[in-house]
Structure 1
Amino acid sequence: MICPHCEHNLLRKERPGNRCSRCKRAYALDPKTNPLRLNDLRVRRITAALTDGGRIRIVPDQLWYALSRKRLRDSDYAQGCVGAAFAGAGFVTVVSFVAEAPVVLLVSAALLITGLGIAVARATGVGKGIPPVARGNFPAQVLDPWRKVYGALPPGVLDTTKPAVGTTAPTAAGPTDAAGPTGVLLCDDRAVLAFLVADGLPARHGLALARSPVEARTVPSSGPVLVLHDIDADGELLVRRTCEALPGRTVVDAGPPLRTVLALPQAVPHRDPGRKPGPAVVRALTELGTFTPEELQWLAKGWRFPLVGLPPARLLAVVDRVAGELTRRVDADRRRAADLGFLTWPEAAGPDPAGGR
């Protein structure tokens, strides 16, 4: 491992207790002991890429997914395990013949069976897509050691534990103040809302925030509702639930299409065995009529692309574009109404053309 301070390449024995024996300085993460096999330099490099060189800010959940991508691609059983099992079986077989000990062949057979089992497990994807560090455990296992060594989170990563970073709906700016929010941005992921708020998107477009269709219904606005959701079984149904809860309102699906994301070679899905959709959810997805049998099967197995797994700059740009198009349309309607006098009130009373009633 390369020391993040003096950049010397250190053997395991040269870095006891997460401290460099050359420069005597502590570091946060050791790939030999960290379940994500992280080191400080990799965290800095990936954070810089996610924040677009410091242009935007991200939330810890986005960093968690980016640091987990490599492990999500792999099975629990590495290719080396298969090779080691077969090589061991071959070696034991040779020894049994040289030593004229047929009973040793039983060990060879056991190793062969183990190798075949590992090969089958790899082929069927056992453990693939399951992060070794759960999203909820990431702060304790990665960010707390980092904060202990460096005194703060990596540059550009928001501390979402502070009350100042939340999902409070911003005040609509400009000409929308008198008429309330231009629309509603609905997303059930608190971390994604915190990311969008930190980068100023809701305030820029005069959007109120909601985490559920019920919350969206309480917002004093008749404008469009942008639904931003994970690409999974529950997320795909969120748009339908919003339409049912807000009849007559314009509801726009701002989530990336499953078919588009599945076609991206760099997209890495994950699955949560505890969130596998039930039969009722699968039937509801089938009733939508928008998914192929293969896509339905993929969703039914619990696979998903969470919003925190999308490139932050790309996610921000897409939502910004969709929100901009919709709010410009709403603002144009309001300006036309204002020209007719329906949404305005005279700032100062002038002469009454009817003779001062």
Structure 2
Amino acid sequence: MICPHCNTNLLRKERSGRRCSKCRREFALEPKESPFGLHDIRIRTLAERLGDGRDLRYTLTQLWYAAGRKRIPDLYRVFRRVRIGISVAIVVITFFTAVSGVLPAAPVIGAAVVAMVLAHVALRAARPQFERAATIRMPVPYNTFRKELIGRWTPIYGGLPPGAVDEGKVRLPVVDRPRFAVLCQDRGVLACLAVNNVPHTWDMALSDRIEQLPPAVPVLVLHDANPPGIVLAGQARAALGTRAVAVGLRPRAVSTNESALRLREPRPTEADAALLRREPLSADEIEWLADGWWSPLAAIAPAKLLAVLARAVERVEETADPEHSRARQVGFLTWPTG
């Protein structure tokens, strides 16, 4: 690890007690102990990336997703490790049994080969069921990450990482005469928009409830690519009519996008699946959601989130002409990739 204060490359024994043995200054995170194996320089790098060179603000949840996205388990790799583990176990048992001389070596090796083949056949047969039942979640819970970061970073540096905000402490501003509104169930996403001056930039009200939205203004509906998010978009269209413009994450925008963060929960209930079939989704999108996959809006970096919002505002303004009012019903906008 490189010391964040003097840039010395430190071995584990040279940084005991989270203190550099060269400059004697204390640092916040020990990669051998911290969530996601983080260290101070890594946090600063993530902060710069989330700030996009424009001093954009970001939430701790966005930092959590950015820090952990490369450590999210891959189903294929997990299954492969299980297969390798079983193979290694068979080889080790065979070796020690043959060496011990308890049984003749030839029958032991033969039995091992048969066991290996049967194990691989069984694993191949079980793989579809394994993939259907497996969940993919962030490897470190958010509360653990938040507690470690705040508990260690703040005492050392006197505050959160550069640009970070604790979304739980952000109050959504009141906009007197809004021209637009955002509806989003994720208060953390609304907090990100608030601290990046979205309400003042576009005279935009922020709300997590349909009944609290201002009247007679276009409403941009931001949501996760998951059943609750898709249902929210449908409810907004039903309640608001052509005022509702869905600009949230659509399954097809993330299911094949390698840069998107994809997680997986147990399959939704049949009732939830029935609700999905009422929405303007393709068969592939419904199948993807019904298989438990989802993608969180909060994992989107502030720059991309603001870019999508800017495009939505521009599109709404361009369609203000009555001849183009139908364009407000276009639904989901295409999210930027990369």
Calculate the TM-score normalised by the size of structure 1: 0.75
Matched, 1:269 2:262: yes
Which residue does 1:169 correspond to in 2? 174
Q: 2:56 corresponds to which letter in structure 1?
A: I
Matched, 1:196 2:190: no
Q: Identify the match of residue 238 of structure 2 among 233, 240, 244.
A: 244
Classify 1:11/1:191 alpha carbon distance in 2 versus 1 (closer, same or farther; 3 Å): same
Q: 1:166 corresponds to which letter in structure 2?
A: R
Tell me how far apart the structure 2 counterparts of residues 70 and 272 of structure 1 sit (CA, whole Å): 18
Q: Identify the match of residue 287 of structure 1 among 278, 295, 298.
A: 278
Structure 1, gaps ≥5 residues long: 172-179, 334-357
Tell me how far apart the structure 2 counterparts of residues 134 and 127 of structure 1 sit (CA, whole Å): 18
User: Contact (CA 8 Å) 1:19, 1:25: kept in 2 or not?
Assistant: yes
Q: Deviations over 1:45-77 (max 9, x none)?
A: 111111112431111111111111012244595
User: Contact (CA 8 Å) 1:186, 1:209: kept in 2 or not?
Assistant: yes
Tell me how far apart the structure 2 counterparts of residues 56 and 214 of structure 1 sit (CA, whole Å): 30
Q: CA deviation at 1:272?
A: 4.5
Matched, 1:224 2:229: no
User: Contact (CA 8 Å) 2:255, 2:288: kept in 1 or not?
Assistant: no
SS in 1 for 2:245: strand
Matches within 5 A, 1:109-120: none
Tell me how far apart the structure 2 counterparts of residues 19 and 254 of structure 1 sit (CA, whole Å): 47
Which residue does 1:342 correspond to in 2? none
User: Contact (CA 8 Å) 1:30, 1:37: kept in 2 or not?
Assistant: yes
Q: CA deviation at 1:96?
A: 2.8
Classify 1:256/1:125 alpha carbon distance in 2 versus 1 (closer, same or farther; 3 Å): same
Matches within 5 A, 1:50-129: 50-74=50-74, 77=78, 83=84, 86-87=87-88, 89-102=90-103, 124=131, 129=136
Which residue does 2:250 correspond to in 1? 257
Q: CA deviation at 1:210?
A: 1.6
Q: CA deviation at 1:32?
A: 1.7
User: Contact (CA 8 Å) 1:205, 1:324: kept in 2 or not?
Assistant: no
Identity %: 34
Classify 1:285/1:128 alpha carbon distance in 2 versus 1 (closer, same or farther; 3 Å): closer
Q: Deviations over 1:170-223 (max 9, x none)?
A: 34xxxxxxxx3213211111111111121122222222222121212xx2x312
User: Contact (CA 8 Å) 1:167, 1:190: kept in 2 or not?
Assistant: no
Matched, 1:132 2:143: no
Calculate the TM-score normalised by the size of structure 2: 0.79
Q: CA deviation at 1:127?
A: 6.1
SS in 1 for 2:165: coil
**Structure richer in helix, relative to its length:** 2
Q: Identify the match of residue 298 of structure 1 among 247, 268, 288.
A: 288
User: Contact (CA 8 Å) 1:232, 1:303: kept in 2 or not?
Assistant: yes
User: Relative CO higher for 1 or 2, CA cutoff 8 Å, sep ≥ 6?
Assistant: 2
User: Contact (CA 8 Å) 1:186, 1:225: kept in 2 or not?
Assistant: yes
Look at both structures and tell me which one has the larger radius of gyration over its CA atoms.
1
User: Contact (CA 8 Å) 1:224, 1:251: kept in 2 or not?
Assistant: yes
Classify 1:271/1:291 alpha carbon distance in 2 versus 1 (closer, same or farther; 3 Å): same
SS in 1 for 2:229: helix
Q: CA deviation at 1:6?
A: 2.8
Q: CA deviation at 1:30?
A: 1.9
Structure 2, gaps ≥5 residues long: 323-338
In angstroms, what is the RMSD of aligned CA positions?
Answer: 3.4
Which residue does 2:335 correspond to in 1? none
SS in 2 for 1:192: helix
